[in-house]
């Protein structure tokens, strides 16, 4: 058996969702919306199935979806992406991340990852025989320790994996931070893999800026999006990578050996979704921001110290003021089984020696569900 996979546990999202189900808890753990995505997109996917859209689509994606991805890059960020050679459609951003890492890393290379980190990054870097150099954001505001980031670069650095808006922190990297990162990438001639699945889930005044838009970055960045997040259809697993032709060609070769292609009816529906008017995207972020505010205010009232969350589905909170006799893992188990509210321990997003006093709550749920979760927590506390 592969030793690395033998040592890999079941993802914390699956573990906590199972516990949540078992105890009839409100699941504020795994990040998925509790309402369906836009009916017209779902209808388009169903229609495409009946319209004989059921054989292998092209390897890098249906031309109509690739054009829609390129057009969205132009519309939202002014990024000129070639619809034919600058886009590769994948089966979810999860596959896209793996494909980008496969495209760029050789055994012995170093990849810089930022903790707390999404759980698929580290195992894939290791499986490719590369070494992860970890840099930790610092609470209570999850700021980037610039000197430590600069020190993590070495002659072996091949890439930095940047997740903004970030899971689990909800951090949206600022123009200034991105400028600093871009400077380091240029100086060390390294690439960026940009996990931007939450690109449209950003709360004003925060604004999402793709690293790729910074001077010199277009040639060295691969930018990843996810229809699951952008259209509240997380089970669909349609992702897309945008970037320069030479890097997309490599990612496409990885994709060829991972899944080869992605369900054509879903691709067709996502193409329609990406062409939606600006109001759709503004309303999506607006509705989520309202939910972030409900949970943030409610958790603060209960005594949690919430940390800033400017984007994504998530807010993190320091549980120390609650004086719970246990760590974040025990806390999450306790609120799931006793209070009936599931959350995710933030220690699961660290490779080793994590902080043990932060938990992550997902707020992508209907307001009355969030109020009910807060009421349950209040009774338990
Ligand atoms: N990256 C991050 C940071 C995520 O939170 C997620 C969603 N779980 C993904 C990637 C994966 O997205 P997808 O469902 O499109 O594979
Ligand atoms: N990205 C989602 C989260 O962070 C979960 C994805 C998964 O279950 N693997 O909650």
- This model of the complex carries an ipTM of 0.97
Average pLDDT over residues 189-198: 99
Expressed in angstroms and rounded, the spacing between residue 229 Cα and the centre of ligand 1 is 8
Ligand closest to Cα of 166 equals 1
pLDDT above 90: residue 131: yes
Token pair 């549980």 is found at: 319
- With a 6 Å cutoff on the Cβ, whether 91 touches ligand 1 is no
Q: Across the strands, what pairs with 132?
A: 111
Token pair belonging to 346: 């933030």
**Segment among 8-12, 188-192, 338-342 with least mean pLDDT:** 8-12
Expressed in angstroms and rounded, the spacing between residue 325 Cα and the centre of ligand 1 is 32
Average pLDDT over residues 97-102: 98
First to last CA, the chain: 45
Predicted local distance difference test score (pLDDT) of residue 7? 86
Predicted local distance difference test score (pLDDT) of residue 235? 98
Consecutive H or E run containing 380: helix 367-380
Predicted local distance difference test score (pLDDT) of residue 365? 98
140 CB neighbour count, 10 Å cutoff:
12
pLDDT above 90: residue 65: yes
Q: What pTM does this model have?
A: 0.98
* Structural domains in the chain, sorted by start: 3-30+279-380 (3.90.1150.10), 39-276 (3.40.640.10)
Average pLDDT over residues 294-306: 98
Exposure string of 344-368, with b = 16+ CB inside 10 Å and e = fewer, is: bbbbbbbeeebbbbbbbbbbbbeee
Q: C-alpha distances in angstroms, 97 versus 197, 263, 282, 311, 376?
A: 11, 18, 26, 20, 37
Token pair belonging to 210: 């793709």
Average pLDDT over residues 21-42: 97
**What is the pLDDT of the chain when averaged over all its residues?**
97
Q: Whose CA is nearest to atom 7 of ligand 2?
A: 13
22 CB neighbour count, 10 Å cutoff:
10
pLDDT above 90: residue 196: yes
Q: Across the strands, what pairs with 105?
A: none
Exposure string of 63-77, with b = 16+ CB inside 10 Å and e = fewer, is: eebbbbbbebbeeeb
Predicted local distance difference test score (pLDDT) of residue 143? 95
Average pLDDT over residues 358-363: 98
Candidate of 37, 94, 231 to mutate for ligand 1, largest count of ligand atoms within 8 Å of Cβ: 94
Please report the atom of ligand 1 found closest to the CA of residue 96.
16
pLDDT above 90: residue 133: yes
Average pLDDT over residues 153-166: 98
Q: C-alpha distances in angstroms, 80 versus 61, 68, 208, 211, 225?
A: 18, 12, 17, 14, 16
Token pair 């290379």 is found at: 109
Ligand closest to Cα of 97 equals 1
pLDDT above 90: residue 259: yes
Predicted local distance difference test score (pLDDT) of residue 53? 81
Cβ-based neighbours of 286, under 8 Å, separated by 6 or more: none
Cα 296 to Cα 293: distance, rounded to the nearest angstrom:
5
Q: What percent of the chain lies above the pLDDT cut of 90?
A: 98
Phi, psi dihedrals of residue 80, rounded to the nearest 5°: -85, 105
Average pLDDT over residues 138-147: 95
Expressed in angstroms and rounded, the spacing between residue 306 Cα and the centre of ligand 2 is 21
Expressed in angstroms and rounded, the spacing between residue 290 Cα and the centre of ligand 1 is 22
Predicted local distance difference test score (pLDDT) of residue 52? 83
Report residue 20's pLDDT band, with 50, 70 and 90 as the boundaries.
very high
Report residue 191's pLDDT band, with 50, 70 and 90 as the boundaries.
very high
């Amino acid at each position: 058996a592969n030793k690395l996979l033998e040592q890999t546990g079941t993802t914390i999202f699956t573990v906590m969702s199972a516990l949540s189900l078992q105890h009839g808890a409100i699941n504020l753990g795994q990040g998925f919306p509790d309402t369906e995505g836009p009916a017209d997109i779902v209808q388009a996917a169903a229609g495409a199935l009946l319209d004989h859209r059921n054989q292998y689509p092209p390897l890098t994606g249906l031309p109509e979806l690739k054009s829609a991805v390129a057009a969205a890059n132009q519309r939202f960020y002014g990024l000129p992406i070639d619809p034919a050679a600058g886009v590769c459609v994948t089966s979810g951003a999860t596959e896209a991340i793996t494909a980008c890492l496969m495209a760029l890393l050789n055994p012995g290379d170093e990849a810089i990852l930022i903790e707390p980190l999404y759980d698929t990054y580290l195992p894939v870097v290791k499986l490719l025989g590369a070494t992860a150099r970890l840099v930790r954001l610092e609470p209570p505001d999850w700021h980037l320790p610039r000197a430590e980031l600069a020190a993590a670069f070495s002659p072996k650095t091949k890439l930095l994996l940047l997740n903004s808006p970030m899971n689990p922190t909800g951090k949206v990297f600022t123009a200034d931070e991105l400028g600093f990162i871009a400077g380091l990438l240029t100086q060390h001639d390294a690439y960026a893999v940009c996990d931007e699945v939450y690109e449209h889930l950003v709360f004003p005044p925060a604004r999402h800026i793709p690293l790729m838009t910074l001077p010199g970055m277009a040639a060295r960045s691969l930018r990843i999006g996810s229809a699951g997040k952008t259209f509240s259809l997380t089970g669909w697993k349609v992702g897309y990578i945008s970037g320069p032709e030479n890097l997309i060609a490599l990612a496409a070769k990885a994709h060829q050996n991972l899944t080869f292609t992605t369900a054509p009816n879903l691709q067709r529906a996502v193409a329609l979704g990406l062409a939606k008017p600006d109001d759709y995207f503004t309303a999506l972020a607006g509705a989520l921001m309202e939910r972030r505010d409900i949970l943030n205010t409610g958790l603060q009232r209960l005594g949690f110290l919430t940390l800033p969350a400017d984007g994504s589905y998530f807010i993190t909170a320091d549980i120390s003021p609650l004086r719970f006799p246990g760590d974040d893992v025990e806390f999450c188990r306790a609120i799931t089984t006793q209070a009936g509210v599931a959350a995710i321990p933030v220690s699961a997003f660290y490779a080793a020696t994590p902080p043990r006093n932060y938990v992550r709550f997902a707020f992508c749920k209907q307001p009355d569900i969030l109020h009910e979760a807060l009421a349950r927590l209040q009774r338990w506390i």
